[in-house]
Structure 1
Amino acid sequence: MNFVALFHALDTSQSTNSKRDALIAFIRESDPLESALAVEALTDRTRGKRLKPNALKQTAYLAFGEDRWLFEECYGAVGDLSETLAILFADQERSPEITQPVLADWIHRQEELGRLELGELANELLSLLKAFSKDEAFLFLKLSSGGFRVGVNKGLVHDAVAQAVAMDRAIVEERLMGDFIADGDWLHRLRSPVTQDELDARPLPFLLANPLIKSDLSSLDPSTVLVEYKWDGIRAQLIKTRETIRLWSRGDHDITEQFPDIVDAAARLPPQLILDGEILAGRPDHLQSFSDLQTRLNRKRITHNLLKTHPVFFRAYDVLRRDSEDIREKPLIYRKEVLATLAVTQSPFSLPNTPEQIEAMRESAREASAEGVMIKRRESPYVSGRKVGHWWKWKLDPMTADCVLIYAQAGHGRRASLHSDYTLACWTSDGDLVPVAKAYSGLTDAELKAMDRWIRKHTVQKFGPVRQVEPRQVFEIGFEGIARSTRHKSGLALRFPRILRWRQDVGANDADRLAHFETLMRDSHAV
C-alpha cells in the first residue's frame, strides 16, 4: 500500500472511522519512509513549495501555445490548477501504482524540477505528467505546489499513528510536535524511551477552548471560573531550557527567529520552563493591531528598524512546566499562582461572583484591545485538545457594515462554476466607491446561484476571470477587527471579513460611507 492507495481510501470515504482505519493500515503496512513522508504531508509539515503555481501555468501555456485562452477556460471550469493539469495532460487510461513507494521519488523529481529554468522546467514537467495516471499527476502537483487537502486533520492522523504503534496518543502527540524528521527510522524513534532533555525542548499539546454564547452563561457557576481577556495575537508556547529559548506556534511551527525581542526578554526567566500565552504587537500598555503583528511573520531577516516600528511581546496566561516539573495536572488556579512568581508580562484575570460580572468584562474587551473573554474552570487541568467543561471563549459580536458589490470572480472546487468571490466597497465623501473587503463565504447555495445569474446579466466589463458589475447589490459584512493599512486603497484593513446577509431591502446609496469605518476604528482604539 502506498500514498496513492491511501489517498483513494481517504478521498472516497465520508466516515471518520473508515479514514482512521485506512491510516492505521497504511502506517502498519507501508514502507516506513513512505509513511513518514505521508504523515509530513497530511499534517502540513512540508516546508515551502517545491514548484510555484506560475511554473504549473507555464507548463499549460507551453502545451496550448497561442490557444492559452482555452486552458484558462478549462481552469475556470475545474477550479483547481493541479486537477486541471492532471485532467489535461495525464494518461487517462493508465492505472496508478498503488503498492510500491512513490513519495521519495516524487520529492526528488520535484526538487530537480525546481532547480531548472522556467522554460526547461515546463518541458520536463509536461513529459512527466504524460507518464502519470490522473491520480498520480494530481497528487504529484498538489504535494509540490502546496494546498494539499484530503479531509483529515492533524488530530485524526495523530490518533491513527498512536493506534498503529499501540502508544498513548498524548505521548505520540508530544513526540510528533516540533521538528519532524521524515525518514525510514521515524517509527523506531517514536517507540523509543523518552528522555527528560527531549521533553524539555519540545512544545506540549495545546489546550483549546470551546465557543460560548450568552445563553450558556446560565449553566455556569461564576464562583468556579476565572475570566481573562481573549487577546488578538498568535497563540504560542515559550520554552526555556538550560541551553535554549524557543517559541512554538499552535500550528506546530518554530517561530523563534521571527521574534528575537521576545527571546531577549525571556533571558531573565528561570530555565526548565514552559509558558502558554500570546504574542502581541506593540507594548503591554499600548497594543497594536493584528495586521502589525503579521508584518513580523515569515521574514527572512528581522531588521533593527522593524524591531522599532513593529515591537512585540509575550503575554503569558499559563505555566505548564516549572523547574522541570510538569504541572499540567495541577488546577489552573494553582498554575496562576506559580505564574505570578515569574518576571513575565501576564494576562490579568478576575474571579467573578455573578454572570453580570462576566458580561461586564466582555463588554470592556474592545476598550482593552481584546476580542472577547476566556472563561476557565479554576480547577481545570491543562489537557490536550478541545475538552468540554474546561475553557470557553466568548468573543465580541463582529463589527458590521453595509457594502456594495463591485467585482465578482468564480470560486474554486465545487464553487468553480459560480461567481462566489466578491469584492465589496463603501462610499467616499466624494461619492466614489472604494474597495474595503473581499468576502468568500456567508451566502446559502440558493443565494449564490441567484447572485451568479444576476452577476452574469449585469457585468459591465471583464478583467480576465474578474467581472466588474453594476454597483447595485448590497451585502452586510461582519469582521473581527479594523486597522490602518498603506497597502489598501481605502487605507483600511478588515480582519476576517465575511458576508452576514444579502441586503435586498436597501439600495446601493444606502450602503455605508468610509466615515463609518473610521468611527468603528476610533471606537475600537485601533487608530
Structure 2
Amino acid sequence: MHAFAALLDALIYTRSRNAKLKLIGDYLRDTPDPDRGWAMAALTGGLDLPGVKPAVIRALIESRVDPVLFRMSRDYVGDTAETVALLWPTPDHPPADATPLSVSGVVDALAHLSRSDAPAALAAMLDRLDAEERFALLKMATGGLRVGVSARLAKQALADAFGLDVEAVEEVWHGLEPPYPTLFAWAEGSGTQPTAADVPVFRPFMLAHPLDDLRVDLTDYAAEWKWDGIRVQIVHVPNAEGGETRLYSRTGDDVTRAFPDVAAAFATHGVVDGELMVKGDFQGGEAASFNALQQRLGRKVVSAKMLAESPAFVRLYDILFDGDEDLRALPWIERRARLESFVGRLDPDRFDLSQLVDASDFTALEGIRAGARDAAIEGMMLKRRDSPYVAGRRTGLWYKWKRDPLTADCVMMYAQRGNGRRSSWYSDYTFGCWSEDGELLPVGKAYQGITDQEIAQLDRFVRQHTLNRFGPVREVEKTLVLEIAFDSIHESKRHKSGVAMRFPRIARIRTDKPAAEADTLAALTKLIT
C-alpha cells in the first residue's frame, strides 16, 4: 500500500505529462501482481467497492473527531479524503496485526464485505496506516482519485513501460477484468496477446480538433451536422446465445443498461459510431434537446414509463466494422458508402443517418451554420474525405465547428470554494437574472472560463461583500455582473427560475454594468429552443 500511496502523492504534485507517464510506468514494472492490476483499475475508474460510500467515511471521522472541526477543515481543504487522512487520530494502542497492507489485500477485504460490516473494517485499516496511505486508501475505496491522470494516460503509461501499442491495449481493455493477469502476462512476454474475438469490446473513438479560425476547402472536406447528444459506439457480436450488444460512451464507459431499447434494436454484426439522443416527438421522430436526454443518463434501471416517454435513438456518423471486416483503414468517403448500406439493415425507429451539409464553398457553409439553432444541433463537423478512422485527435483530419455561444448578463448571488488547487479560492459562482417582479432568481452555476487572476479578483469580491454564510456557501451583495456564455437554454422544473443553461461559463466580468441592468428571465426564455 505504501508504494501506491507514494505514487498518488507524486502524481498530485507532478504537472508534466511525461513525468506522470514515467511515474506510473516505474510503479507497474516494480510492483508484482495483483497489486499493480488493482492499481490500474483504480487509476482507470474500473474499481468498484460498493460497501464504502462518502457517507460512511464522514460518519467514521465524525465519531473520532469533533464534527464541527471536520466540517470546517473539509471546507478549507476542499477534499474529504485528504481531510480525513490528515485528521484521523493515531490509536493509543497499535493494532495487534502490524502486517503492512497491500492494495490487493484492501480490495479483497472491502469487496466482500456487506455495507454493515465495511465501516468497521475500513476504520481498522485506517488505524494501521500513515496519513499518505490513508489518503490512498480512501481515494481508492471511493473511486475518485482525482490525481490528474485520465484512464487514457494510465493505459499509455502501461504501454510505454512494456513496449506495447496503446491502441492494442485499448482494443482489448473492456474485454478484460481487473486485476488484468492476462494483460500483464502479455506485457511481460509470458503470455499471448488478448484478443477481442467474440467479445463486444470498445474501440477508441476518432476525435476532432476545434476549427478555430481555419478555413478549409470543401473539395477536400465533407460537412455534416454535429448533434447535441452523447457520442456512443455500438458493438454487436454474434455468439451461441444469439449475440451480445453493448453501448459505450466516448470515455469507454458501458452505458448499455441506461439504453436497453437501443441495445435490443441493434442485432446486426458490426461496430458503429453515432450520437445518442431521445425523440422529442415520437411520431415525428425529431431529436429533443440534451435536457431531455439527461433524464436517462446514469440510470441503472430505466422504467417502462421513461422508455415510452423518452425513446432513445442513434444518429449514425461512421462505421468501424461491418461484420468481421475492419473498415477503419478505409478513407472516410468509402466508409460513408458502407455506412449508408449498413443503416438500411437497421430499425429505422432507432437508427438513422447523420445527413451531410451541402454548400458550394466555405463562405456559403458559414451562412448555413450561422442560421442553425435547432435544439439538437451543436454545430458542424468537417471531415477530410480521405481520412482513415484513427484513435484520438489527428491534426488535419476532423474538425469540430461549434455554433457561437449565447450570452447573458447575470448577477452573482452565491459563491463556494472550489476543489483541488482551487480549494482556497471562492471559484464556483451561482448567478441569476431578474424576474418580472424584480426578484433575482438563480439561472446557473459556473466555474470555468476565467483566468487565475480573475478568480483572485472574484475571490476578493466575495470575501469583502459577504452577506450570509450557509456552510461552505457565501451569499454576496447583488452588485457584480458576470457575462455568461452558454450553448443553449431549456425549461427546467427543478429550478425556481424555470430555466437551466447548458455548459455555462464565465465570458467576462462586467464591472462596467450596474446590476439593475442585468438580463431578465423573460429575455432568457425567448432563447429556449
TM-score (norm 1): 0.89
Mapped contact 1:223–1:352 kept (Cα < 8 A)? no
Mapped contact 2:292–2:310 kept (Cα < 8 A)? yes
Q: Provide the residue aligned with 2:388 in structure 1.
A: 381
Secondary structure of 2:341's partner? Answer: coil
Paired residue type of 2:179 = A
1:139-159 deviation per Cα after TM superposition (whole angstroms, max 9, x unaligned): 111111232122222232222
Distance change in 2, residues 1:348/1:186 (3 Å): same
Paired residue type of 1:182 = P
Q: CA deviation at 1:475?
A: 0.6
Tell me how far apart the structure 2 counterparts of residues 207 and 88 of structure 1 sit (CA, whole Å).
45
Q: Provide the residue aligned with 2:498 in structure 1.
A: 491
Tell me how far apart the structure 2 counterparts of residues 49 and 373 of structure 1 sit (CA, whole Å).
41
Distance change in 2, residues 1:26/1:127 (3 Å): closer
Tell me how far apart the structure 2 counterparts of residues 185 and 90 of structure 1 sit (CA, whole Å).
41
Q: CA deviation at 1:443?
A: 3.2
Cα RMSD, aligned residues only: 2.5
Q: Provide the residue aligned with 1:177 in structure 2.
A: 174
Mapped contact 1:404–1:474 kept (Cα < 8 A)? yes
Tell me how far apart the structure 1 counterparts of residues 77 and 335 of structure 2 sit (CA, whole Å).
52
Q: CA deviation at 1:298?
A: 2.5
Distance change in 2, residues 1:74/1:368 (3 Å): closer
Paired residue type of 2:226 = K
Moved more, 325-334 or 400-409: 400-409
Paired residue type of 1:44 = G
Tell me how far apart the structure 2 counterparts of residues 363 and 285 of structure 1 sit (CA, whole Å).
24
Tell me how far apart the structure 1 counterparts of residues 287 and 50 of structure 2 sit (CA, whole Å).
34
Whether 2:25 is the aligned partner of 1:24: answer yes
1:188-211 deviation per Cα after TM superposition (whole angstroms, max 9, x unaligned): 26652455624x621211111111
Tell me how far apart the structure 1 counterparts of residues 37 and 481 of structure 2 sit (CA, whole Å).
49
Whether 2:141 is the aligned partner of 1:134: answer no
Q: Provide the residue aligned with 2:445 in structure 1.
A: 438
Q: Provide the residue aligned with 1:228 in structure 2.
A: 224
Paired residue type of 1:365 = A
Tell me how far apart the structure 1 counterparts of residues 141 and 261 of structure 2 sit (CA, whole Å).
34
Tell me how far apart the structure 2 counterparts of residues 234 and 196 of structure 1 sit (CA, whole Å).
25
Whether 2:368 is the aligned partner of 1:361: answer yes
Q: CA deviation at 1:415?
A: 2.3
Q: Larger helix proportion, structure 1 or 2?
A: 1
Secondary structure of 1:157's partner? Answer: helix
Tell me how far apart the structure 1 counterparts of residues 394 and 100 of structure 2 sit (CA, whole Å).
40
Distance change in 2, residues 1:426/1:226 (3 Å): same
1:306-355 deviation per Cα after TM superposition (whole angstroms, max 9, x unaligned): 01111110111111111311011101000111111122400001354411
Tell me how far apart the structure 1 counterparts of residues 485 and 24 of structure 2 sit (CA, whole Å).
39
Secondary structure of 1:84's partner? Answer: helix
Distance change in 2, residues 1:312/1:461 (3 Å): same
Q: CA deviation at 1:171?
A: 1.2
Q: CA deviation at 1:25?
A: 2.3
Mapped contact 1:223–1:353 kept (Cα < 8 A)? no
Mapped contact 1:2–1:102 kept (Cα < 8 A)? no
Tell me how far apart the structure 2 counterparts of residues 193 and 183 of structure 1 sit (CA, whole Å).
12
Tell me how far apart the structure 2 counterparts of residues 48 and 401 of structure 1 sit (CA, whole Å).
43
Secondary structure of 2:428's partner? Answer: strand
Secondary structure of 2:525's partner? Answer: helix
Structure 1: unaligned runs, 5 residues or longer: none
Tell me how far apart the structure 2 counterparts of residues 489 and 183 of structure 1 sit (CA, whole Å).
48
Paired residue type of 2:437 = D
Tell me how far apart the structure 2 counterparts of residues 438 and 477 of structure 1 sit (CA, whole Å).
10
Q: Provide the residue aligned with 2:331 in structure 1.
A: 331
1:338-391 deviation per Cα after TM superposition (whole angstroms, max 9, x unaligned): 111122400001354411132133224323631100000000000111111110
Q: Provide the residue aligned with 1:340 in structure 2.
A: 340
1:213-268 deviation per Cα after TM superposition (whole angstroms, max 9, x unaligned): 1x211xx222100001111111111112221222111121222222122123324x
Q: Percent identity?
A: 39
Moved more, 292-301 or 473-482: 292-301
Distance change in 2, residues 1:499/1:211 (3 Å): same
Mapped contact 1:275–1:321 kept (Cα < 8 A)? yes
Mapped contact 1:90–1:137 kept (Cα < 8 A)? no
Mapped contact 1:403–1:511 kept (Cα < 8 A)? yes
Q: CA deviation at 1:109?
A: 4.0
- Aligned counterpart in structure 2 of residue 508 of structure 1, from 497, 515, 521: 515
Secondary structure of 2:353's partner? Answer: coil
Whether 2:204 is the aligned partner of 1:205: answer yes
Mapped contact 1:375–1:393 kept (Cα < 8 A)? yes
Moved more, 495-504 or 151-160: 151-160
Tell me how far apart the structure 2 counterparts of residues 111 and 134 of structure 1 sit (CA, whole Å).
23
Secondary structure of 1:297's partner? Answer: coil
Q: Provide the residue aligned with 2:348 in structure 1.
A: none
- Aligned counterpart in structure 2 of residue 151 of structure 1, from 148, 151, 156: 148
Moved more, 425-434 or 279-288: 279-288
Distance change in 2, residues 1:246/1:511 (3 Å): same
Mapped contact 1:34–1:101 kept (Cα < 8 A)? no
Distance change in 2, residues 1:81/1:476 (3 Å): same
Tell me how far apart the structure 1 counterparts of residues 293 and 34 of structure 2 sit (CA, whole Å).
37
Q: Provide the residue aligned with 1:105 in structure 2.
A: 105
Tell me how far apart the structure 2 counterparts of residues 516 and 11 of structure 1 sit (CA, whole Å).
44
Q: CA deviation at 1:280?
A: 0.8
Distance change in 2, residues 1:116/1:495 (3 Å): same
1:46-105 deviation per Cα after TM superposition (whole angstroms, max 9, x unaligned): 2365422222222222123xx42222222222111111111111659x9xxxx9772112
Tell me how far apart the structure 1 counterparts of residues 424 and 417 of structure 2 sit (CA, whole Å).
6
Matches within 5 A, 1:91-490: 102-111=102-111, 115-116=115-116, 121=119, 125-178=122-175, 180-188=177-185, 191-195=191-195, 197-198=197-198, 201-213=200-212, 215-217=213-215, 220-242=216-238, 243-267=243-267, 270-271=268-269, 273-282=270-279, 285-342=285-342, 343=344, 344-350=351-357, 352-367=359-374, 369-490=376-497
Distance change in 2, residues 1:176/1:436 (3 Å): same
Q: CA deviation at 1:486?
A: 1.3
Q: Provide the residue aligned with 1:75 in structure 2.
A: 74
Q: CA deviation at 1:21?
A: 2.2
Q: CA deviation at 1:124?
A: 5.6
Paired residue type of 1:158 = K
Q: CA deviation at 1:470?
A: 1.7
Distance change in 2, residues 1:180/1:397 (3 Å): farther
TM-score (norm 2): 0.89
Moved more, 432-441 or 168-177: 168-177
Tell me how far apart the structure 2 counterparts of residues 347 and 378 of structure 1 sit (CA, whole Å).
16
Mapped contact 2:487–2:502 kept (Cα < 8 A)? yes
Q: CA deviation at 1:431?
A: 1.0
Distance change in 2, residues 1:126/1:266 (3 Å): closer
Equivalent pairs counted in the alignment come to: 505
Moved more, 485-494 or 20-29: 20-29
Distance change in 2, residues 1:196/1:7 (3 Å): closer
Moved more, 189-198 or 443-452: 189-198
Mapped contact 2:64–2:88 kept (Cα < 8 A)? no
Structure 2: unaligned runs, 5 residues or longer: 345-350
Q: Provide the residue aligned with 2:347 in structure 1.
A: none
Distance change in 2, residues 1:368/1:295 (3 Å): closer
Secondary structure of 1:376's partner? Answer: strand
Paired residue type of 2:370 = E
Secondary structure of 1:180's partner? Answer: coil
Mapped contact 2:229–2:376 kept (Cα < 8 A)? no
Tell me how far apart the structure 1 counterparts of residues 89 and 106 of structure 2 sit (CA, whole Å).
15
